[in-house]
Structure 1
Amino acid sequence: MSSEAPDPSDVEARTVETVRIEDEMEQSYIDYAMSVIAGRALPDVRDGLKPVHRRILYAMHEMGVTSGSSHRKSSSVVGETMGDYHPHGDSPIYDALVRMAQDFSMRYPLVDGQGNFGSMDGDPAAAARYTEARMAPLAEELLTDIEKDTIDFQPNYDDRLQEPTVLPSAFPNLLVNGSSGIAVGMSTNIPPHNLGEVIDATVELIENPEATVEDLMEHVKGPDFPTGANIVGRDAIYSAYKTGRGRIRVRAEFEVEEWKPDRDRIVITEIPYQQNKAKLVERIAEDVNEGEIEGISDLRDESDRNGVRIVVELKRGANTEIVKNRLLENHLERTFGVINLALVDGQPQVLTLKETLEEYISHRREVVRRRSEHDLAEAEDRAHILEGRLKALDIIDDVVDLIRNSEDRDEARTGLENEFGFSEAQAAHIVRMQLGSLTNMEAAELEAEYEDVQDEIEYLTSILENESKLLGVIKDELRAIKDEYDDDRRTSIIEDVGTVTHEDLIPEEEVLIVMTEDDYVKRMPVSNFDPQGRGGKGIIGCDVKEDDRVTTVFQANTHDYLLCFTNQGQVYQLKAYEIPEMGRTARGKSAVNILDLDPGEELTAIVDTDAFGDDEFVTMVTRHGYVKRTRGDEFDNILTTGIIAASLEDGDELVDVEVTDGTNDLVIGTEQGMTIRFDETEARAMGRNARGVNGIKLEGDDAVAGLVATTEADERALLTVTENGYGKRTLLSEYRTQSRYGKGLIDIKTEERNGPATALKAVAPDDQLVIMSERGQIMRTRASEISTVSRNTMGVTVMDVEAGDAVASVDVLSVDVDTEESD
């Protein structure tokens, strides 16, 4: 007979099934997902534990590592758990054990750790061989009565042992300690709560099954995090309890102290749950170094074993409210996303607060019922034995004679059953009785014990027969646990006075916005620049690159909405504070990081939308002399990618923009010093996509330099400044109104000394000006410093421009800007 194995190709399969690979993949993935969901990632609603935590506690229970025993090496606990119940590697088991021992992770730690179990700074725990652990007293309450058939057991992974499917859980651990985990396609994030509050709510629901979430919230005020801090607002808490999902804002606890004259410090004593303290301090320091948060002089972490203490010292004169709000927006406030997802009968389910407590009460009802049945069976067995002993005492002489005359124990036991009617259990017990138990004192004790057992049987029977009494037992046991372990609430709930927005954190101040040809942009406080006399050189206002030049300087308030017009006829909208604030010598930040500019697109004009009123127009002029008016409301909804403000012919560019009201005259000035004034209504209002109409007839290579809106009663002067730093003021009344599209009148002589005109502004004598050169020099002066002369003159030196430099832009400061020199 051949011993060779048969050729596999000759062996026929018993059955062959044809399945679609999509169906097989789908079913296999579902099986895998459910394995992760039920076997690892999600807690059971009844005891609030995931399998790994349940197995760790049960292993410690079996090892006798209770709160009353000595500590055992964590590696020993991990080894027992891994070897007997959880064959998934020692690292995840130890990580779970460590978390159950961390008082900053668990509201009520279930493991009493000894050694280095990590810190709020993210420091890892020492290796398992260096730390020791035992069960915390509260953890034993989760296992109370586990030996009384209160819960079901299942075979362990290799069928050698039995492990519990759930723990009896004498308190609602799911809510008390919370849970978090990520399964396949779902996740859970349940916050911890105060033990006493949860127990009170559970008792309330037992007494009043019709209680609403609002009723339960009379007891459960909200989550109670181990690290304290504050929950902002109650609406989010109610939403989370009502629906099972919600977003709760958690804010650090801090106070402002005056530690030196005119200097405050912010002391942080509690931080949001699960926030890494060391990284928090590090991120604050980074923001200070990068200029995101100003006014901080020193930052220290003075935390110790007694608690958190982070000290933020402020500079003299710093605005404490602004620094505090910046810290709140970026660092001291976090959102805790509540997802109250747990396993109910092995299936994941999002639960409300009431449903969670109802499931727990149902579990405890089953535990108490099974425990009562177990205790009742034992009590009845004991009563049966006691009845036999008492009966034997009544006929003790006959019993002793029968036993003495029997050959062995079996014959004595049989004789007792047959002669006197004892049961098998009673006979066996009587045979094992000692002679000392026949005294009168023993008989009295038996009588007393029998009465006690009968009382116990009656009590247990009443529990099983009376639902309200069973629920009363649950309530009493919950109250006993509350009396034993309750503590004060750590997390406070403060009123929501409104979300801190980024705008709230920005102080309102007048700033200068500077833009360059290469689209670098920044803002600087106007107060950085003191007024100077006419003809000064100014000071450095921007460090431009060698091949770049300043194109525009513009004054705005940090809270203004700005319409930013580009040379290509596009318009964008942004808040002034979105432009980064930088020092005088900084180059600025690329505008492409703020606005979605196309290649070659440059900002040429900015309009403050606060200037808009009803029935107003955005009036634009191009380099080739076209004028267009568009109603202001067409610029109300501007996309982040910008919208078209004007259509341009090839080679043309948008130069300047004014806001008009339909009653203005328009004054257009050119680089060669010509001006024309005409009624704005001569340029009819058009849509955004229109090109516009001719405004001024240009000669040769002349081009438009600027636009001014004025009225017949306007007593201001037209300020014209040339590239070489010369300029003059001429009363606007000297510019007579003409028809649109004429050559205009001579405004200023633009010979070699002056250079081309670069800016036109309408100014009053008390106005202040900001003049900026292409190389970044900036000068603040008063309009009254510049002479008022007639048209067709040379003007005077306004700014001393160095060789190779030129005036780039001029802007008029608003009258409310502080004119005092800065300190």
Structure 2
Amino acid sequence: MANQEKLLDLPLEEVIGDRFGIYSKYIIQERALPDVRDGLKPVQRRILYAMYQDGNTFEKPFRKSAKTVGNVIGNYHPHGDSSVYEAMVRMSQDWKVRNVLVQMHGNNGSLDGDPPAAMRYTEARLSSIASELLRDIDKQTVDFVSNFDDTTEEPIVLPSRYPNLLVNGSTGISAGYATEIPPHHLGEIIDATILEMEKPDCTLDELMAIVKGPDFPTGGIVQGLEGIRKAYRTGKGKIVVRGRAEVEPLRGGREQIVINELPYEVNKANLVKKMEELRLDRKVEGVAEVRDETDRTGTRVIIELKKEADANGILNYYYKNTDLQITYNFNMVAINRKTPELMGLKAILKAYVDHQKEVVINRSKYDLKKSVDREHITQGLIKAVSILDEVIATIRASKDKKDAKSHLSEQFGFTEPQSEAIVNLQLYRLTNTDIVTLEKEAEELKKNIARLQKILSSDKVLVNVIKKELLATKKKYEDQRRTTIENEIEEIKIDLEVMVASEDVMVSLTKHGYVKRSSLRSYAASNDNDIAMKDDDYLLFKQGMNTTNTLLIFTEKGHYLYLPVHMIPDKRWKDMGQHVANIIPIQPDDSVICAFPIADFEEPLYFNFITELGMIKRTELMHYQAQRHSKPLMALKLKKNDRLVNAHLTDGQANVLIATKHGFGLWFDEAEAGTVGQRASGVKAINLKDDDVVIGSAVFGVGQNPEIILVTQRGAVKKMAIYHQLEKSSRARRGVMMLRELKKSPHRLIGMSLIDSSDHLVILTGNGERIEVNASDIRSNDRLSNGSYVLDQNETGDVISIWKKTVDKQEDK
């Protein structure tokens, strides 16, 4: 009868879930995560055991790596040869593991990420310390299981004479779990293990008095004691690891930074390349060259500096912007009792101590059985030598070996093992001197049996045995700590001079938002009339600045743009420039209203913001220093339908003058507004009528006697002396009328500005006509006059905007 196919009708999610569950269990337990007891993943354990079984140990000559890889694949690990060889190479790289487990001859890779030579070229053997992981494995100390094809057996864990998981660390990713355990100092870990063993209720602080923190093979500096403490308590924590660098003097008054230790697992070639790219891109100033002078004596990366460069500033810049400083995240996951577990320092040490107790007990039982068996045989041999003639006669009278053993048992009471030993005795052992050797051996065996029985019966003796063995391992293999531990994570501050070449430039911003910086040479070769601008555009800001300064640009929606001068596009003075929205994205319906050059945010200056709905907000300059400037930042909180009309930077003692559309003017001290935070909305500046709004504002210092110019929509221009025509008042009042109110075609203010005799006023009308008026040609008017007309409204239409042609200060409009 033909075989029938058996088909199962199952939902896909059930099948996938079931299969993935099986796969996940395998890769968690049998591939990616280390065992807490010996700190090894299965592939690493199989490599070490295969080399041990093959006699490829540290006191013997090196053997081809390919032979070991073939051995591992054929007997224990049925996977690709590359995965086995890569695991083997990693255990030999002294910049990856703190104490190498495999010694390798030939190219085994490099700090630059170079691949190792093929396994047919390299040779390897177990290192001396790896033998400590395997010591006593033949004494039934650990459990063995059948290999993949049941032809041999392999250990499920190694005896591990020291806590390898912490000493060499581990890294791996499996399904749903990952592990990141840093290497530690052998001596510290062994001392902590002894403390945990002798005082199981010891605290984490007591352990951390011994274990200072990670000890990376590449050295470096670890910062963040709190992160280490958290990791040792919970299994997770964050620290900062930075390379070790020093500044060396060169001839000619120059200096160079020498980096001789890198953070753990940082690729040196990529680091040097990134450093050089930052230099070439002019992201960092003062660096002449970055080169790698590493040789067989050790790591040496040189950052050669230009004359008068700030070495510490440049080093800080590289710490912040390259892998010369990295963040290391502890994630101490290991397999404990066949289960992945996030473990702290104490839990890992306890698991190791439990394992060691089990190993020593198993070894002691094995040795005890061997000693008892040998003592039994020795007693038989001593008895046989004492009645040697009878024993010989009995053996000679026997037909064969079996008969001889039988006669010896019947006539003299020897047991079967003793009879076996007697008939196998070599003739030279029958001398008189041999009885002394046998008696001495029996005495030694008695002492050994008593010692082993003590170990098995007393936990205190057991602990002393483990302690003695751990101290012997420490004495043999301990070296100097390489990584320095610092309590606090240093906050990196980078001076702008490190990133930007100091240069004096001319900066301009137009009302439509076009910004540029030009060299003083380009500016001197041109004039303002050469600037490419749209007909209705004009200069809002023009001033000499330094590339290390910052330009703050405010928009009518209450935002500000933090624009370092070195980030402003470098253009010829006659070019239009670039729109600010291409540098910092602002909303399409937002527009710039004013700009301020800032050299030092710590200066005791104040911003005064005036809004259309009559609010004033006063805030210290220091609050507007920003770390990030990739998007618009909030300058003040605006009410619905409100907008920012103007902003002023003052010394805190200025007078504020506010003008409204209906011609009201209010003059008061800025100090009345109080000081609030950056994101506040401020207080009422002027009490407005229902249909009135603020159209402009000005500030002037104590003792000044400025004049203002007012322009109405009907083309009337009026000049007033503030002290003569207006009366100083206080905040939140209606103010005084600055225009005569007409019943028919009333004048409405379009603009107001401080002015002096050298200024030129430009008036733009609704049909695009531009009219220039010299301030000196306008005579001063009484407070209630409407000024004098400068245009025929019937021909030109309403005035839509005004500005001053000479613009050298940010208050001008």
Q: Does 1:811 align with 2:800?
A: no
Q: Does 1:86 align with 2:77?
A: yes
Give the CA deviation at 1:326. 0.8
Which TM-score applies when normalising by structure 1? 0.77
Q: Which runs of 5+ in 2 are unaligned?
A: 674-679, 712-718, 728-734, 740-746, 765-773, 781-803
Q: For structure 1, which segment, 595-604 or 148-157, has the greater mean C-alpha deviation from structure 2 after superposition? A: 595-604
Q: Equivalent residue of 2:187, what SS?
A: helix
Question: Using a 3 Å threshold, how does the CA distance of structure 1 residues 309 and 542 change in structure 2: closer, same or farther?
Answer: farther
TM-superposition CA deviations, 1:717-747 (whole Å, max 9, x none): 5699x9xxxxxx9986577568357367998
Pairs within 5 Å for 1:408-447: 408-447=400-439
Among residues 125, 131, 134, which one is paired with 2:125 in the alignment? 134
Partner residue in 1 for 2:614: 628
Pairs within 5 Å for 1:642-791: 645=638, 656-658=646-648, 664-666=655-657, 678-679=666-667, 707-710=697-700, 713-715=702-704, 717=706, 733=723, 736=726, 739=736, 742=739, 756=762
Give the CA deviation at 1:309. 1.1
Pairs within 5 Å for 1:307-706: 307-331=298-322, 332-496=324-488, 498-501=490-493, 515=509, 537=526, 552-553=541-542, 564-566=553-555, 569-573=556-560, 575=562, 577=564, 580=567, 591-592=580-581, 595-599=584-588, 601-606=590-595, 618-620=609-611, 628-632=614-618, 645=638, 656-658=646-648, 664-666=655-657, 678-679=666-667
Q: For 2:754 and 2:418, how far apart are their aligned partners in 1?
A: 129
Give the CA deviation at 1:453. 1.1
Among residues 222, 228, 243, which one is paired with 2:234 in the alignment? 243
Give the CA deviation at 1:693. 8.6
Partner residue in 2 for 1:215: 206
Q: Equivalent residue of 1:193, what SS?
A: coil
Partner residue in 1 for 2:716: none
Partner residue in 2 for 1:199: 190
Q: Does 1:158 align with 2:144?
A: no
The answer (yes or no) to whether the contact 1:750–1:756 under 8 Å persists in 2 is no
Q: For 2:660 and 2:253, how far apart are their aligned partners in 1?
A: 52
Letter paired with 1:810:
D
Question: Using a 3 Å threshold, how does the CA distance of structure 1 residues 687 and 306 change in structure 2: closer, same or farther?
Answer: closer
Give the CA deviation at 1:605. 2.3
Letter paired with 1:710:
F
Question: Using a 3 Å threshold, how does the CA distance of structure 1 residues 676 and 308 change in structure 2: closer, same or farther?
Answer: farther
Q: For 1:472 and 1:388, how far apart are their aligned partners in 2?
A: 34
Q: For 1:394 and 1:100, how far apart are their aligned partners in 2?
A: 57
Give the CA deviation at 1:531. 15
Q: For 1:311 and 1:539, how far apart are their aligned partners in 2?
A: 48
Give the CA deviation at 1:577. 4.8
The answer (yes or no) to whether the contact 2:608–2:647 under 8 Å persists in 1 is no
Which TM-score applies when normalising by structure 2? 0.78
Partner residue in 2 for 1:125: 116
Q: Does 1:59 align with 2:53?
A: no
Question: Using a 3 Å threshold, how does the CA distance of structure 1 residues 691 and 732 change in structure 2: closer, same or farther?
Answer: closer
The answer (yes or no) to whether the contact 1:730–1:790 under 8 Å persists in 2 is no
Q: Equivalent residue of 1:324, what SS?
A: helix
Q: For 2:603 and 2:610, how far apart are their aligned partners in 1?
A: 13
Q: For 2:258 and 2:65, how far apart are their aligned partners in 1?
A: 37
Question: Using a 3 Å threshold, how does the CA distance of structure 1 residues 611 and 141 change in structure 2: closer, same or farther?
Answer: closer
Partner residue in 1 for 2:96: 105
TM-superposition CA deviations, 1:566-618 (whole Å, max 9, x none): 2xx3233565559736767699887457644123544332468979999x852
The answer (yes or no) to whether the contact 1:664–1:710 under 8 Å persists in 2 is yes
Give the CA deviation at 1:5. 2.1
Q: For 1:367 and 1:545, how far apart are their aligned partners in 2?
A: 87
Give the CA deviation at 1:757. 6.7
Partner residue in 2 for 1:299: 290
Question: Using a 3 Å threshold, how does the CA distance of structure 1 residues 630 and 788 change in structure 2: closer, same or farther?
Answer: closer
Q: Equivalent residue of 1:248, what SS?
A: strand
Q: Equivalent residue of 1:490, what SS?
A: coil
Question: Using a 3 Å threshold, how does the CA distance of structure 1 residues 263 and 603 change in structure 2: closer, same or farther?
Answer: farther
Q: Equivalent residue of 1:570, what SS?
A: coil
Q: Equivalent residue of 1:112, what SS?
A: strand
Letter paired with 1:571:
G
Question: Using a 3 Å threshold, how does the CA distance of structure 1 residues 39 and 757 change in structure 2: closer, same or farther?
Answer: farther
Letter paired with 1:629:
M
Give the CA deviation at 1:119. 0.8
Q: For 1:139 and 1:749, how far apart are their aligned partners in 2?
A: 87
Partner residue in 2 for 1:765: none
Q: For 2:398 and 2:530, how far apart are their aligned partners in 1?
A: 119
Letter paired with 1:580:
M
Give the CA deviation at 1:27. 3.9
Give the CA deviation at 1:193. 0.7
Partner residue in 2 for 1:761: none
Question: Using a 3 Å threshold, how does the CA distance of structure 1 residues 549 and 250 change in structure 2: closer, same or farther?
Answer: farther
The aligned length equals 732
* Percentage of identical aligned residues: 35
Q: For structure 1, which segment, 146-155 or 536-545, has the greater mean C-alpha deviation from structure 2 after superposition? A: 536-545
Question: Using a 3 Å threshold, how does the CA distance of structure 1 residues 747 and 84 change in structure 2: closer, same or farther?
Answer: closer
Give the CA deviation at 1:99. 0.7
Partner residue in 2 for 1:771: none
Q: Equivalent residue of 2:383, what SS?
A: helix
Q: Equivalent residue of 2:316, what SS?
A: helix
Give the CA deviation at 1:506. 7.3
Give the CA deviation at 1:66. 0.8
Q: Equivalent residue of 1:810, what SS?
A: coil
Q: For 1:595 and 1:115, how far apart are their aligned partners in 2?
A: 54
Question: Using a 3 Å threshold, how does the CA distance of structure 1 residues 105 and 523 change in structure 2: closer, same or farther?
Answer: farther
Q: Equivalent residue of 2:809, what SS?
A: strand
Question: Using a 3 Å threshold, how does the CA distance of structure 1 residues 411 and 221 change in structure 2: closer, same or farther?
Answer: same
Give the CA deviation at 1:542. 11
Q: For 1:719 and 1:578, how far apart are their aligned partners in 2?
A: 32
The answer (yes or no) to whether the contact 2:91–2:102 under 8 Å persists in 1 is yes
Q: Give the CA RMSD over aligned residues.
A: 4.8
The answer (yes or no) to whether the contact 1:254–1:267 under 8 Å persists in 2 is yes
Letter paired with 1:570:
K
The answer (yes or no) to whether the contact 2:171–2:179 under 8 Å persists in 1 is yes
Question: Using a 3 Å threshold, how does the CA distance of structure 1 residues 555 and 536 change in structure 2: closer, same or farther?
Answer: closer
Question: Using a 3 Å threshold, how does the CA distance of structure 1 residues 6 and 173 change in structure 2: closer, same or farther?
Answer: closer
Q: Does 1:224 align with 2:215?
A: yes
Question: Using a 3 Å threshold, how does the CA distance of structure 1 residues 132 and 749 change in structure 2: closer, same or farther?
Answer: closer
Partner residue in 2 for 1:71: 62
Q: For 1:304 and 1:718, how far apart are their aligned partners in 2?
A: 75
Give the CA deviation at 1:691. 14
Q: Equivalent residue of 1:666, what SS?
A: strand
Partner residue in 2 for 1:186: 177
Letter paired with 1:204:
L
Q: Does 1:5 align with 2:9?
A: no
Q: For 1:44 and 1:590, how far apart are their aligned partners in 2?
A: 60
Q: Equivalent residue of 1:349, what SS?
A: strand
Partner residue in 2 for 1:772: none
Give the CA deviation at 1:710. 2.8
Q: Equivalent residue of 1:228, what SS?
A: coil
Question: Using a 3 Å threshold, how does the CA distance of structure 1 residues 385 and 5 change in structure 2: closer, same or farther?
Answer: same
TM-superposition CA deviations, 1:482-539 (whole Å, max 9, x none): 1111100111123426422567997999998654678566789xxx86999xx99579
Q: Which runs of 5+ in 1 are unaligned?
A: 621-625, 723-728, 759-786, 794-805, 814-823
